[in-house]
């Protein structure tokens, strides 16, 4: 645009002024405010960008910029649906985004419980969301009582076997309240187990298509898979690493094709000693690590060292040390946070409380003191 020949001729302010006016004129013809959002600009006349028609390459790029800008404005003020855990939201810069999230831990740490509570909270605290928990290693008979226990802070056993607690009307009342909340939430939360649709990625994809068909277009879909290593495929020729690579790529493919969030739990290799896990401990495949937008490694010292643990909390009704689940953000493509957040856990109620920032600092200091 600028034809600055100042190096070989004296500056002509008249010409510069004319050029500036011309540019402003052109820009006014090219860009307009969006009629519904005065802060968003749109390209009204692409031909006026260069005073000629755009070629196909330029048109493609123009459409891409428009799509990304539309998407950015559609994210809303918070960025995405809240998880109900403020520090978790902050770590991923404002809520759940489309992408692949992996919650990895050794057995019994609490990853299924953590994912269940997260999906429950997302479904309760946001509009236009739908969360589905797919449980491949536990049945709905095991998982739904956890939802009720978590909701009402009763034990999983109380939610599971009401008849055993007939002499405790206050427990039955709470259980019924939890059940009512679960019924009330079926427009935003569903739970499926292996008996509902099988464990194959092909059947999972059919389910995602079904959700896309029935749910309103602007619904944010969040699919939980417990666990990634229980997924199968109808492609019979794949085995071992090739199989896990294929599954990881397929799951990530859904994120891109259907614009959804997939949260997977994943088992870790058996850890030697009591060390905290790293991404290298993901079993069988590093493709999962590569494809994931976020990897959280969960660790529960009380689960390993019991009364010898240093990272624990105390509950007024319990005599023993209570577990604190450490959630380390070991790969984070949603934000720059790479630290650890801490969740005080009541396993019998399948319930977590996110530790405050101060408490997180205290727990982190205890780990680093060693």
Site residue total, ligand ATP (CB under 6 A): 14
Report the C-alpha gap between 108 and 116 in whole angstroms: 14
* The one segment of 19-27, 109-117, 206-214, 360-368 that binds ligand ATP by CB under 6 A: 109-117
User: Whose Cβ is closer to ligand ATP: residue 236's or residue 270's?
Assistant: 270
68: tokens are 């990304």
User: Whose Cβ is closer to ligand ATP: residue 37's or residue 108's?
Assistant: 108
**Burial readout 183-198 (b: 16 or more C-beta within 10 A, e: otherwise):** eebeebbbbbbbeeeb
Q: Indicate the helix (H) or strand (E) that contains 340.
A: strand 340-346
Report the C-alpha gap between 310 and 212 in whole angstroms: 46
Residues 254-273 close enough to bind ligand ATP by CB under 6 A: 267
Residue 325 in the binding site for ligand ATP (CB under 6 A):
no
Residue 107 in the binding site for ligand ATP (CB under 6 A):
yes
For residue 67, the minimal CB distance to ligand ATP (Å) is 38
* The one segment of 106-114, 304-312, 332-340, 355-363 that binds ligand ATP by CB under 6 A: 106-114
| Helix (H/G/I), strand (E/B), else coil: 354 | strand
User: Whose Cβ is closer to ligand ATP: residue 126's or residue 135's?
Assistant: 135
User: Whose Cβ is closer to ligand ATP: residue 136's or residue 329's?
Assistant: 136
Cα dist from 271 to 115, 213, 222, 245, whole Å? 22, 43, 30, 22
Residues 119-138 close enough to bind ligand ATP by CB under 6 A: 137
* The one segment of 2-10, 103-111, 273-281, 331-339 that binds ligand ATP by CB under 6 A: 103-111
| Helix (H/G/I), strand (E/B), else coil: 58 | helix
DSSP 8-state class, residue 27: H
Residue 111 in the binding site for ligand ATP (CB under 6 A):
yes
Cα dist from 157 to 151, 304, 315, 350, whole Å? 14, 23, 19, 11
Report the C-alpha gap between 31 and 73 in whole angstroms: 17
Say how many C-beta atoms besides its own lie within 10 A of residue 172's C-beta: 16
For residue 304, the minimal CB distance to ligand ATP (Å) is 11
Rounded to 10 degrees, the C-alpha dihedral 144/149/150/151 comes to: 90
Question: For ligand ATP, which residue of 94, 110, 178, 224 counts as binding (CB under 6 A)?
Answer: 110
User: Whose Cβ is closer to ligand ATP: residue 111's or residue 328's?
Assistant: 111
Q: Strand 294-300 and strand 261-267: pairing? A: unpaired
User: Whose Cβ is closer to ligand ATP: residue 144's or residue 201's?
Assistant: 144
Identify each DSSP E strand in 218-281 by its residue range.
220-226, 261-267
Question: For ligand ATP, which residue of 96, 100, 105, 292 counts as binding (CB under 6 A)?
Answer: 105
| Helix (H/G/I), strand (E/B), else coil: 136 | coil
Q: Which residue has the tokens 């399948």?
A: 350
Residue 109 in the binding site for ligand ATP (CB under 6 A):
yes
* The one segment of 59-67, 110-118, 314-322, 331-339 that binds ligand ATP by CB under 6 A: 110-118
Q: Strand 294-300 and strand 322-332: pairing? A: antiparallel
For residue 345, the minimal CB distance to ligand ATP (Å) is 8
* The one segment of 36-44, 111-119, 215-223, 281-289 that binds ligand ATP by CB under 6 A: 111-119
Q: Determine the Cα angle at 106 with ends 105 and 107, to 5°.
A: 115
Residues 348-367 close enough to bind ligand ATP by CB under 6 A: 348
User: Whose Cβ is closer to ligand ATP: residue 18's or residue 348's?
Assistant: 348
For residue 351, the minimal CB distance to ligand ATP (Å) is 10
The binding site for ligand ATP (CB under 6 A) comprises 105, 107-113, 137, 156-157, 267, 347-348
């Amino acid at each position: 645009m600028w034809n600055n020949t100042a190096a070989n001729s004296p500056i002509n302010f008249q010409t510069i002024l004319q050029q500036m006016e011309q540019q402003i004129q052109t820009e006014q013809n090219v860009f307009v405010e969006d009629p519904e959002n005065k802060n968003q600009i749109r390209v009204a006349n692409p031909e006026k960008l260069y005073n000629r028609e755009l070629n196909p390459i330029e048109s493609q790029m123009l459409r891409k910029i428009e799509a990304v800008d539309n998407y950015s404005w559609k994210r809303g003020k918070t960025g995405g649906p809240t998880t109900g855990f403020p520090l978790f939201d902050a770590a991923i810069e404002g809520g759940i985004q489309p992408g692949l999230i992996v919650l990895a831990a050794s057995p019994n740490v609490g990853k299924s419980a953590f994912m269940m509570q997260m999906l429950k909270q997302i479904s309760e605290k946001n509009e236009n969301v739908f969360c589905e928990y797919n449980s491949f290693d536990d049945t709905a008979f095991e998982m739904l009582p956890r939802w009720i226990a978590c909701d009402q802070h009763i034990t999983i056993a109380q939610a599971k076997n009401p008849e055993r607690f007939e002499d405790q009307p206050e427990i039955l009342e709470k259980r019924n309240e939890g059940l009512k909340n679960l019924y009330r939430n079926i427009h935003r939360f569903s739970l499926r187990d292996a008996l509902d649709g099988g464990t194959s990625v092909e059947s999972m994809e059919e389910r995602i298509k079904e959700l896309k068909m029935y749910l309103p277009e602007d619904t944010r879909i969040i699919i939980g898979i417990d666990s990634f290593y229980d997924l199968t495929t109808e492609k019979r020729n794949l085995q071992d690493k090739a199989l896990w690579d294929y599954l990881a790529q397929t799951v990530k493919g859904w994120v891109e094709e259907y614009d959804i969030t997939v949260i997977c739990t994943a088992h870790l290799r058996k850890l030697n000693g009591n060390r905290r896990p790293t991404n290298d401990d993901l079993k069988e495949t590093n493709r999962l690590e590569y494809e994931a937008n976020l990897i959280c490694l969960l660790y529960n010292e009380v689960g390993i060292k019991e009364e010898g643990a240093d990272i624990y909390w105390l509950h007024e009704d319990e005599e023993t040390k209570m577990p604190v689940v450490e959630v380390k953000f070991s790969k984070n493509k949603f934000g720059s946070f790479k630290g650890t957040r801490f969740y005080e856990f009541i396993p019998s109620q399948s319930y977590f409380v996110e530790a405050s920032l101060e408490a997180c600092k205290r727990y982190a200091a205890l780990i680093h003191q060693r």
